[in-house]
Amino acid sequence: MKKLGQWVRRTSRDERGEAPILLLMMVPALFLIIGLVVDGGGKVQADTEAVLIAQSAARAGVNAGLNSSPDGGVTVNSYKARSGAQEYLATAGVSGSVLVTSTTVTVNAIVPYKPRFLPVGGLEGQGIGKAEARTAPSQGVQP
């Protein structure tokens, strides 16, 4: 460590208008770090938004397709539930898929994301969120 400090002091005195090598190495590294922070945060935000939209779409699907059965149970009309969830996704402006069973609605939402600082790398693409909403058995009202 002592040698590095001596080298920096010596080179700073010996410079004759030349850019220090250390500075030339640090500037691209700083840009890379800033880019990863900015674009990584944007990707996390896209993932979070996708999860929130998927949760809301799943709830909307269950609410749209809710049916009471004669035995007091609750089921989901698959056509109405799928339509309700897909309508929510379309209103939110995202793409996705909907899977409906007799008691659940599962939604996958895809939010596009484009990096703002570093246009290359694994951050480009989309935020993906998945959520599932289930029906709760009706409890009935006690007099």
- What's the average model confidence in pLDDT over 42-51? 92
Residue 130 lies in a domain: yes
Q: Is the pLDDT of residue 143 over 70?
A: no
Residue 142 lies in a domain: no
Residue 17 lies in a domain: no
No. of helices (H) and no. of strands (E), the chain = 3, 5
Eight-state DSSP code of residue 13: H
Task: Give the pLDDT confidence of 56-81 residue by residue, as tens digits.
Answer: 999 999 999 887 767 767 778 889 99
Rg (CA), the chain: 27
Residue 8 lies in a domain: no
Residue 48 lies in a domain: yes
User: What percentage of the chain exceeds 90 in pLDDT?
Assistant: 34
Q: Is pLDDT larger for residue 107 or for residue 118?
A: 107
**Domains contained in the chain, number:** 1
Residue 78 lies in a domain: yes
Q: Beta partners for 98?
A: 107
pLDDT of residue 142: 37
The torsion region of residue 56 among left (phi > 0), alpha (psi -120 to 50) and beta comes to alpha
Residue 44 lies in a domain: yes
Strand ranges, E, within 1-143: 66-68, 74-76, 95-100, 104-113, 125-134
Q: Is pLDDT larger for residue 119 or for residue 82?
A: 82
- What's the average model confidence in pLDDT over 9-28? 69
Task: Tell me which residue range forms the domain holding 93.
Answer: 26-116+123-134
Residue 88 lies in a domain: yes
